[in-house]
Amino acid sequence: MDSRGPRREAGRAACTGQHLRHGADRCVSARDQAASLLDRAFRDGGVRIALTRWHIFGLTWLAYAGFYLCRKNFSVVMPALEQGGLFTKLQLADFVFAYSLAYSLGQLCAGPLADRLRPRITVSIGMALSIAANLAMPHGALYTPLLLLSFVNGLGQSAGWPGLVKNMGSWFDARHRGVVMAWWSTNYVLGGFIATLVATRVVSTVNWQAGLWMPAVLLSAVLLLFASFDRDGPGEARSKTPAPAMYRELLKQPTVWVVAVTAALLKVTRYSFLFWLPLYMTEQLRYPLAQAGYISSLYELVGFGGAVLAGYLSDRVFGSRRFPVACLMQAGLAGALLWQPTLTGAGPLWNAIGISLIGVLTYGPDTLMQGACAQDAGRNVAGGTASGFISGMASLGQLVSPYLVAWWAATQGWDALFRVFVALALAGSALTAMQWRRPAIA
């Protein structure tokens, strides 16, 4: 028997299990070319390629953190809109829903677009849309205009994650993916924290309108830097496969569904906290607006530690296996959420400690699911599509969160809402436990 036959079969099986493709030959060719370029560049480029990698790391980190200037600001503006009698809670929920719907659907399109075009183009267009929407919002403080502008803002924001994850995946190899993406994913932890501080300061010292247009001006500076200095990676292969074909291959991977559903469960909790924590603290705990804004910002700031911790545990303790870390952290999250209503009665300090712990245990598994796991699925050829699908499906949780919070808080009370979050965390922990023994992606 020809000994080459088994090798060819093994190669085809590996390609089928690990990569998106439209035809086995195209998948092998694109994968091998991208891997060869990446390995050769990292081997032969020396100091120059290393410096360029960290230049791209910093630039893409700044770009995604910058997106939060025009994302997190609305949650700080919301209490002022309600207290000023401009909108009700349910109307505010409509704005969050419109944003979330556009964000979810937009990522399903932005992912393949990032694979077929340069990430710089995709990300820059999205950033420009978000800037335009936030500049227009102060002039459209009526229900319908603000609803439409929230939708446009969501579309613009949706281009950020798939394009930048694609860009990062082409500059950093799989051996250090957990740690590198853990540090890189702090962009949305610290980005949210900084954006909250900026918006809180502006709204409390100027007015709510400035809380919308001033972050847009800052994001314009980030757009200029990114569009001018971003570069394609040495292993960045552009897919020629139509988006429907790539999605068909993606849907055949059961693990992708586990990642997407787990990320969706986490996102219900994460976005409920991101958008509603200031309102919860002003209404339920009777905190002043500034105090509520600053304490709620700890959710992102201390969550930074959870993202980094999860990456190191994944690569250094569990041998680049993501699911054991996600399982354990979500189990801990359930306990922290159950305990939180009791902590709030002990005063602002204990409330801040509890919010910080919840941030750590939320952001840890969330960064793994939407960062390293998405890159594991897509690699250099279809990283944008995989990231867009996982993050887009996860963003369906955003669609649930505004109405869940608004309805449950109004009918059952804020404290009862935490029990819903406990159930979501336990469900996510159970899902990832089913993948506990799954080996690391080579």
Which DSSP string corresponds to 236-267? -PPP-S-HHHHHHHHHT-HHHHHHHHHHHHHH
Please tell me the predicted confidence (pLDDT) of residue 225.
Answer: 96
* 183 within 8 A of 311, measured Cβ to Cβ: yes
Torsion sign, CA atoms 318, 323, 326, 327:
negative
Please tell me the predicted confidence (pLDDT) of residue 429.
Answer: 97
- The domains of the chain are located at 44-228+239-433
The tokens describing 14, both together, are 């590996």
Closest Cα to residue 329, out of 240, 235, 265? 265
23 backbone dihedrals φ, ψ, rounded to 5°: 100, 135
Please tell me the predicted confidence (pLDDT) of residue 218.
Answer: 97
pLDDT below 50 — which residues of the chain? Answer: 1-28, 30-32, 34-35, 41
The tokens describing 337, both together, are 């959420």
**In angstroms, rounded to a whole number, what is the distance separating the alpha carbons of residues 330 and 325?**
9
Which of helix, strand or coil describes residue 318?
A: coil
Classify domain 44-228+239-433 at the CATH topology level.
Growth Hormone; Chain: A; (1.20.1250)
Please tell me the predicted confidence (pLDDT) of residue 232.
Answer: 74
- What predicted TM-score, i.e. pTM, was given to this entire model? 0.73
Long-range contacts of 426-430 (CB under 8 A, 24+ apart): 426/330, 426/331, 426/334, 427/265, 428/262, 428/265, 428/266, 428/326, 428/330, 428/365, 429/326, 429/327, 429/328, 429/330, 429/331, 429/333, 429/334
Torsion sign, CA atoms 190, 192, 195, 200:
negative
Please tell me the predicted confidence (pLDDT) of residue 25.
Answer: 46
DSSP state of 438: P
Angle at 85 between CA 191 and CA 81, to 5 degrees: 10
